[in-house]
Structure 1
Amino acid sequence: MSLRRRRLVIPAAITLLALLAAGPNAQASGADSVHSAGQGPTLHAQTWRAVEFTLHSTVDYADPYRDVDLVATFTGPNGQRLTMPGFWDGGTTWRVRFAAPTPGRWQYTTSSTDAANTGLNGHHGTILAARYTGNLAIYRHGFLKTSANNRYFTYADGTPFFWLGDNQQSNLTGQTRLYESNDPRFPSMFKGIVDTRVKQGFNVIWNETFANNGGNANEGGPDWIGGTFHTLNPEFWDNIDERIGYIAGKGVVDAIAMGVGSSLTDASKDLLPEYQRLARYMVARYAAYPMVWLTAQEFDAPGNCAQCWEQVAQVFADTDPYRQPTTLHNYPIYAGGGVQPRDESWYGLVALQEGHNRVDGVSDYWLKQYQQTPVRPVVEAEANYEGIDVFWDNHAIVQTWQTRESAWKARVGGVAGNDYGAAGVWWACYTPDDPDWNCQNFGSTPWNEGLFLPGAAQMGYLKAFFTALPWSRLAPAPTAIAWAATAPTDTQLAFASATPDRSHTVVYYPHRLDGGAPYRGSLTGLPRGHYVMKWFNPRSGQYTSAGSFTVTTAHGSAQLPPELTAADDWTLLVTRH
């Protein structure tokens, strides 16, 4: 396969963004031209939007991916400095991508590990960044970071970010078609999935390159030529560029992993330098987009080299000049996982996995995670993918109520975000007869049916409910309610989350698995004031009045109404006016 090839779509899109920001007098030659002199063109961009420039190596390396490294140092207003690695993109072509975090003049200088390579060393240029003028929140407010109290995520300017993710683990691979579809509603399978999830309210997508465990390909060809970690194929990555560029163009954050943790085991830890190099390459290509570095899924499964994966994650964290959150996805705690390097400065969040066909209680699962120290934001990243066949558990099919209940329990238990997964979409299945192993074993739901399972809309209802509140001030409140003896004490115990001043209290009532009587209990520790109660139906997104009451003494109490139907889950919102 030739490594000298045509330029794919995403760099053209980046160039177009730069030209649009520049205005009607911009010159098209500015954003993707090769200059033999050290002085490059002046590029125009908007803050937080990716722009790139191209260099051509004057040395023909036998293995450019490994033989030389390139970096560009950007100096902005007030002396702000960011260092971004460059990446080899086939032949003699190298590229650097950058997103200006502040408006103004940014100047860059390039250098490489080969001092004699005048094509890569000593190039200078200017980026004039105007403030972003669009309506996408991730660019109006900037890339993600953890909050000051390490409980949730914010944009760069401190605005709280409500994480609602969708797991689409195969959507950077050929399993999810980029240029074709078998559904007339969507010319592109990939774009149809992304567009639908955006309409449903999702703002994070979990995907994986699977470029670390062999046998993977997309429309650009295989990830490696001659075997895993042999010869990198830039066309594979160009195809991923187009996909990640599309996700970023929708204002969605990309939570990206290399692949499965079992690809780096205790027996193969001598490959660690290859994984670290690949992490650096991924940062070079994608750090100028809104990202979370998920690194690997189930990194701490028995037999995996968990400490190796921690070193790979540190490369993501240390190389990304924007310091976007970095983590590792846990193997289920009940199955022997749950390693959390909370003491490490690079560890930005807990990417938890409850598992599938699971019914857990708040206080013994999510609340325990919330209470651990050092404090880190917790994301319930994999819980009860809706509609999948749990083939290892007597072929149980995950029910919608399980998916919905895990999300709500996690939220009132203090998580900073949760990810949804649906049969036929978490791993894309083109048809009911798709021969892919995951499709054959986890159920035969095709992607265009799984995309509209009811749980997706219900995740949107959850997001709408919380974002209408001062949700970032809510915290688990295990002592806010005194329950009657008839209330469940197991996984179905109702639980509350409240603001410190008790101006807002959220009570989630799981449905009664035992068929017992409705919940009975009292809110306690209430300040004086008048309170209004509303039922929220998490299945339909509708509110119903639940009455009101007045507290006239300090640390007062009030009787809670029983849920409307014991066979369903309900959410009670209590606000002080």
Structure 2
Amino acid sequence: MRTRIVITLLVMLVTTSALQAQLRVSDNKRFLITHDGEPFFWLGDTAWELFHRLTREEAEKYLRDRARQKFTVIQAVVLAEMDGLQTPNAYNEIPLEANDPTKPREAYFQHVDFIIDKAAGLGLYIALFPTWGDKVFKNRWGIGPEIFNQENARVYGTWIGNRYKSRKNVIWVLGGDRTPRNESDVAIWRSMAEGIVTGAGGYDQTLMTFHPQPNDVNDGGSAKWFHNDAWLDFNMLQTGHCRENNVWDRIKAAYDKTPAKPVLDGEPLYEDHPVCFNAKDLGTSSAYDVRMFAYIDVFAGAFGHTYGCHDIWQMNAPSRQPINGAHYPWYEAIDLPGAQQMQYLRALIESRPMLDRVPDQSLINDARGSNDHIQATRGKDYLFVYSAQGKSFTVNTARISGSMLVARWYDPRTGEVKDAGRFEGREAKTFTPPTSGYGHDWVLMIDDASKNFSLPGMSK
């Protein structure tokens, strides 16, 4: 028993120490890396109401389950969306005195501290939203109230940046589902960002982005307003909750901005969500819906992906009124199939050299449309092609190294691999996935045979 306790403590120490140095942007400005230069795959979950609605015991269960499912980042909001200023947390605490951002209440933030630290102990990063955007701009669907101006945004930013400067598992995210209306809104967010940088001790002590509403396809998400700001380390998009969505073009628009910055889809279509907010006519989203956008996003150039679940973001429970037709309590929804399948995307990407991976549609002859889209990506010695409905395609194999190539089919539903043969490189070759039709998505893996890469999820 004593030996088991010692081993458990050592595992916790090793896990925690791995998060004692902040993530940073890679030298090629396309990825995030750890303090020792190892590539980091962002597999996120939108747990917006985590701090606001869960007890410590519930939060720990949620974090343990997501760590078990190989998630790496949890996106959560301090001043929460669902009346986060007036409705208290699970311990009857509200975050601010009299809705004043310059007067944070210690008891509320001790609960936030606990969850951030518990996440670190499980090897999880927290993408920390200091506030949801309705506290800057309420709009018709927000509760608000609007409490921020340039002056108090800087004070609050400085305070919260200083409070969490020693927590190296914190990634800062401003915005919170709001598109700046005008220069005044932009100035408030910039003021909060500069406050965080000041409180944390400088630009090299923060990793930060901005989460907008879906905006025009060519805008590049956060890049529309903040691309050249020193505090914005990577661009974030929200591609929204519809099926007919050319997410690949949206990722590309941000990817192609200069100077280069990493890009991430921070809110795509959630699992079990009313499609386009219209469940009556369009139904609710499936595991296939969220899986398809995940692979397309990453193959189109994103350095990772954020999964979301309609029941999880709101922490739905029998004691709460479901929002927009949520079906399951959060503790059941946590095991929905789409969430379980996200780990196979991470395993695939991590199985090959990550830092030389680029999007490359010149690998294929037909990208097709929004429902049966085909998306390609490659490194120097390998390539992946995702076929959303198992349609055939022709691959230009001369784009990677190797006189002899090995091909395999990867199943995004199970993580299983099927052999697809060996052949000489430098030639175009047509491939037909094992099955086809709606929900029958496949990834073709082609490797330089001389590299002897391991299968996804397995070490060499």
TM-score by length of 2: 0.84
Are residues 1:316 and 2:196 paired? yes
- Residue number in structure 1 paired with 2:429: 559
CA distance in structure 2 between the partners assigned to 1:331 and 1:288 by the alignment: 30
Are residues 1:475 and 2:353 paired? no
- Residue number in structure 2 paired with 1:147: 26
Offset from partner CA, 1:491-535 (integer Å, 9 cap, x none): 533121111x3x1001111116xxxxx323132434551000010
CA distance in structure 1 between the partners assigned to 2:431 and 2:276 by the alignment: 40
Are residues 1:460 and 2:339 paired? no
Residue 566 of structure 1 deviates from its aligned partner by 1.5
- Secondary structure of 2:298's counterpart equals helix
Matches within 5 A, 1:83-482: 134-136=13-15, 139=18, 142-173=21-52, 175-178=53-56, 188-210=57-79, 214-218=85-89, 219=91, 221-229=93-101, 231-265=103-137, 271-289=149-167, 290-302=169-181, 305-321=185-201, 323-334=205-216, 338-340=221-223, 341-361=226-246, 363-390=248-275, 392-395=277-280, 396-431=283-318, 434-435=320-321, 439-482=322-365
CA distance in structure 2 between the partners assigned to 1:211 and 1:282 by the alignment: 15
The answer to whether the 8 Å contact 2:269/2:285 transfers is yes
Residue 201 of structure 1 deviates from its aligned partner by 0.2
Matches within 5 A, 1:538-549: 538-549=412-423
- Secondary structure of 1:464's counterpart equals helix
Higher RCO (CA 8 Å, separation ≥ 6 residues) = 2
CA distance in structure 2 between the partners assigned to 1:370 and 1:243 by the alignment: 33
Letter in 2 for 1:466: I
Letter in 2 for 1:571: V
Higher helix share: 2
TM-score by length of 1: 0.68
- Secondary structure of 1:574's counterpart equals strand
- Residue number in structure 2 paired with 1:80: none
Matches within 5 A, 1:13-92: none
Residue 205 of structure 1 deviates from its aligned partner by 0.6
The answer to whether the 8 Å contact 1:138/1:155 transfers is no
CA distance in structure 2 between the partners assigned to 1:541 and 1:495 by the alignment: 18
- Secondary structure of 1:345's counterpart equals coil
- Secondary structure of 1:142's counterpart equals coil
The answer to whether the 8 Å contact 1:359/1:402 transfers is no
CA distance in structure 2 between the partners assigned to 1:374 and 1:222 by the alignment: 41
5+ residue gaps in structure 1? Answer: 1-19, 22-131, 179-187, 513-517
The alignment's C-alpha RMSD in Å is: 2.7
The answer to whether the 8 Å contact 2:87/2:94 transfers is yes
The answer to whether the 8 Å contact 1:313/1:327 transfers is no
CA distance in structure 1 between the partners assigned to 2:443 and 2:348 by the alignment: 10
Q: Percent identity, please.
A: 23
The answer to whether the 8 Å contact 2:12/2:121 transfers is no
Higher strand share: 1
The answer to whether the 8 Å contact 2:162/2:196 transfers is no
Structure with greater Cα Rg = 1
- Residue number in structure 2 paired with 1:39: none
Letter in 2 for 1:214: L
Q: Which 10-residue stretch deviates more, 403-412 or 371-380?
A: 371-380
Letter in 1 for 2:432: P
CA, structure 1 residues 300+392, in 2 after alignment: closer, same or farther (shift >3 Å)? same
CA distance in structure 2 between the partners assigned to 1:404 and 1:421 by the alignment: 11
CA distance in structure 1 between the partners assigned to 2:113 and 2:149 by the alignment: 26
The answer to whether the 8 Å contact 2:268/2:293 transfers is yes
Letter in 1 for 2:252: L
CA, structure 1 residues 471+538, in 2 after alignment: closer, same or farther (shift >3 Å)? same
5+ residue gaps in structure 2? Answer: 1-8, 140-145, 450-460
Question: Equivalent of 1:519, from 392, 404, 408?
Answer: 392
The answer to whether the 8 Å contact 2:129/2:176 transfers is yes
Residue 386 of structure 1 deviates from its aligned partner by 0.4
The answer to whether the 8 Å contact 1:352/1:380 transfers is yes
